[in-house]
Amino acid sequence: MASYDTAKIDAILAKNEYAEANLLAILQDIQAAEGYLPRPALEHVAKSLGISIARIYSMATFYKAFSLKPRGKHICTVCMGTACHVRGAGRILDKIEENLKIKAGETTKDLLFTVERVNCVGACAMGPVVIMDGETIGNATANKINKVINDIKADSKKS
């Protein structure tokens, strides 16, 4: 197994005074630095603080903001609530999955996109709704969303 660079995690632990009381802040800092909570980083935290890995996992899984899997730079969230579903959200999700060659809940290998599905984001009148990087796109169509995705892909190749 490739070794994990713990220097970044040590800096985060030092900033949070190696205190178990600061565990939430430590996990938030790791998530911000890594984009998710890698298992080796959590094992290192457990060892450094002298606490069990189970304690860390129970906190990491309690808060929805944490992810235990790598997430993409761009998050595409498709609303699959009833109002959006009856207006064709399923087809939009299918087309996005086809374009990115992943299923909802997965991340592309290049870590550019994560696709997620949620139930109702409270904007039913605008349905179907897709949220791309926090921006709500109403009256979504497969073409409209795939154009946004393809533009991001093209931009990422330029940089």
Whether the Cβ atoms of residue 60 and residue 42 lie closer than 8 Å to each other: yes
Q: Which is nearer to ligand FES, 38 or 138 (CB)?
A: 138
When the beta carbons of 119 and 143 are compared against ligand FES, the nearer one is 119
CB contact at 8 A, 98 and 91: no
Q: Is 78 in the site for ligand FES (CB under 6 A)?
A: no
d(CA 87, CA 38): 38
**Which residue from 127, 152, 121 is spatially nearest to 140, judged by alpha carbons?**
127
Binding mask 102-131 for ligand FES (x = CB under 6 A): ------------------xxxxx--x-x--
Side-chain half-sphere CA neighbours of 70 within 13 A: 10
Residue 32 beta carbon to ligand FES: minimum distance, rounded to whole angstroms: 28
Choosing from 9, 37, 84, 132, the residue that interacts with ligand FES (CB under 6 A) is 84
Say if CB 96 and CB 76 are below 8 A apart: yes
Report the residue from 16, 42, 74, 81 that binds ligand FES according to the rule CB under 6 A: 81
Residues engaged in binding ligand FES (CB under 6 A)? 79, 81-84, 120-124, 127, 129
